[in-house]
Structure 1
C-alpha cells in the first residue's frame, strides 16, 4: 500500500478519490515545483485540494509545497495529523481577517475560506459580508504582491438569485433577482461583490483571478454533524430516522461530487481565463429537494426511513432561501477539458458510507 494511503487510512474513500485524481487527471501532469496557498484549508473542498496535492507529491515526487490557512488549530491538527511533520505542508493558524502574513514566494492561491452555515448568514450577516468581501480583497492584494501565476475564488451558485424557473439551463451570464435587504442575502450578495472585486483586480491590476461558481458539493469527507440538506438525508438513513422537510422541497438545483469539483477547481486555476467565472456542477443531477429525499430513501432500501413534512411558518429565520429552480450550464468549463464523472446515486452511496464510518470513529 502506498504511503499516502497508509497516512490517510481513517477515510478510505477520501484517500481513494484524491489518489485516483492525482494519478489519472491530465490537469495535474505538469504541476511541479510550486507553492500553493489554500484558504479554508479545513473546509470540505479546501481540505480535498490539500490532500490532492499531497497525493501528487507522494505519487510523483512533484515537490509541491502547500500552505494551508486554517482558523481552528484543533480541527486542522486532527484533519492533517499524518502530515504535520511533512516538509510539503505548512499550516498557518489564523482568522482570514486577522493580521497574518506569508513571507515566501507563492505561485497559486485557492481562496476557499467562507461562511457556509445558512443559519450563520441570518444570525451574523455583518460577519458573513465582511468575510466574503474584506477577506477576498485581502487575498487579491496578496496575489498582487506575490505576482502569482493564478488565483481562484470559490464562489457559489447562490450569486444567480431567483432565476427564470422555465430556463432550461443557466449560463455564467444569466442572473436573477436578489433582495439586498433580506439578511439571508448577506451570503449571496457578498459572494457577488467578491466576484466583482476579483474581476476588478484583474482589469485594473492584472491579478490573474478566476471565479469558481460551485453547485452544492458533497462526497467523502463531509462531517457527520454537517447540517446541509444532503448531510441531513444521509444522517437520517444512517440513524434509521425519518427525513423531515421544513419546506415543500420544490427547489431544484444541480449537485457535484467532491472529487469532480476538486478537478474542476484545478482546471479553472490552470487553464481558465483570468477575470472569468465558470459554473461547476454535474448537469445531469438537477433534482428537487423532495425528489432527492425520495431517491435517498429508495436507495437505502430501509423501511425505517420515511419522508415527513413539518412546514415552517418563516423559512427565512431558518436560513432557507426562497424556492428556486436552477440548472447550471457547464459548457464553458467543459470547453477546458473537464467532465463530471459521478452521478447522484454514487454520490449518495459514498457520502453515506463515509459518514457512517465517521460516526463509528
Structure 2
C-alpha cells in the first residue's frame, strides 16, 4: 500500500537560488516531497530556511558536478543549478561551464538510474544576439562561443544537446525549458541584471545605469508565472524545448524610467558603453507554451514590479549596499 500512497519525490538542484526556492515552495504546496540541493556558491539558505521545519523537505549541501547519490525512489528532477547572471558567470566561468556540462550529465545519469522524469533549465541566451524576432524554439541562435557570455550560452546549449541525447538514446523522459528574463522576490540586488540593478540604485539614491543607448529590449516575466509554466511543462508529454516568458517587450531606457516613476525618486539615467555580445532584442514567441501547456503569463509588469520593489524595500538597508560575492574559479 505504501507505494501507492507515498508522496511523489522531486529533486530540485539550485534550490537555494531565486528560481529554485520558488520551485521548492510550489512543489511542497502541490503535495510533493522535495529534496533540495545546492552548493551555495550563488544560492542563499535564507531563501529556503522557512521550509526546513517541514517533514516533506530535505536539503543536501552538494555540488552537482560531483556524483549525486539520492537514496530511495525518485519521480522527478528539476535541474536548475547554474549561475544565471552576468556578474556571476563572468567571475566563475569554469564553474558555469562545469555545472552545465558535468552537472547536467550527473543529473541525467541519476534520472536514468531512478527512471525519473527530468526537466532541465535552459535559457533565452541560447539564441545569443538574435537575428530572428521574436524568438521561436526553431531558431538556432547567433552565439559567440569565445565571447565573455559564451561560457553561459554554450553551457546551456550543451545542456540541451546532452538532454536530447539521453532522451533519444536512453529513453529518459526529458523536458527542456528556455527561460526568458524573470524577476520577483528573492532576486539578489547585486546580481548584475537590469531589474534588480535599477531598483538597487534607486533605493541607494544613485542614478540608474543604462548600457548603450538603452534601445535594447527585454521581456520580463514575473516569477509566479514562470513557476506555473515549469510545473505545466514537467507534467506535460512534450520533450522538445519550450519558451516560457512574457512577450511584453520594453526598451531598457523605458524600463529605467518605469523604475524611477515607481520608486518616486529623482534619479537620472546615466549611459555607459554596451558590454560585448549584449543582446539587442529579447522577446519570446510563446505559441508552443499556449498550445501545448495552456500557459500564458497573468501578472503584468506594473503589478509584478510593485511586488518586487516592495520586497527589496523591506530588506535591511545593509542589503541594499551589499557587494557581489567574490568567487574563485577552480
Given that 2:137 and 2:242 are in contact with CA atoms closer than 8 Å, whether structure 1 keeps it comes out as yes
CA displacement 1:14-39 (0-9 Å, x = unmatched) = xxxxxxxxxxxxxxxxx982001000
Matched with 1:306 is 268
**TM-score, normalization by structure 2:** 0.88
Give structure 2 stretches of 5+ with no counterpart. Answer: 320-330
SS of equivalent residue, structure 2 residue 121: strand
Given that 1:223 and 1:358 are in contact with CA atoms closer than 8 Å, whether structure 2 keeps it comes out as no
Cα shift at 1:76 = 5.4
Matched with 1:252 is 217
Q: 2:52 aligns with which of 72, 81, 84?
A: 84
Cα shift at 1:249 = 2.1
**1: CA distance, partners of 2:45 / 2:151:** 31
Q: What's the RMSD between the two structures over aligned residues?
A: 2.2
**TM-score, normalization by structure 1:** 0.81
SS of equivalent residue, structure 2 residue 315: helix
SS of equivalent residue, structure 2 residue 12: strand
Cα shift at 1:347 = 1.8
**1: CA distance, partners of 2:142 / 2:77:** 31
Q: 1:145 aligns with which of 109, 113, 127?
A: 113
**2: CA distance, partners of 1:272 / 1:183:** 36
CA displacement 1:130-183 (0-9 Å, x = unmatched) = 1101111110110000001x2111111000112226x3x221001232122223
Cα shift at 1:242 = 1.1
Q: What is the 5 A alignment of 1:199-348? A: 199-274=164-239, 276-283=240-247, 285-302=248-265, 304-311=266-273, 315-316=275-276, 321-335=277-291, 336-348=293-305
Deviates more, 1:123-132 or 1:68-77: 68-77
User: Greater share of helix residues, 1 or 2?
Assistant: 1
**1: CA distance, partners of 2:42 / 2:183:** 23
Matched with 2:64 is 96
Give structure 1 stretches of 5+ with no counterpart. Answer: 1-30, 57-61
SS of equivalent residue, structure 1 residue 236: helix
Cα shift at 1:306 = 1.5
Given that 1:133 and 1:193 are in contact with CA atoms closer than 8 Å, whether structure 2 keeps it comes out as yes
Matched with 1:187 is 152
Given that 1:201 and 1:207 are in contact with CA atoms closer than 8 Å, whether structure 2 keeps it comes out as yes
SS of equivalent residue, structure 1 residue 282: coil
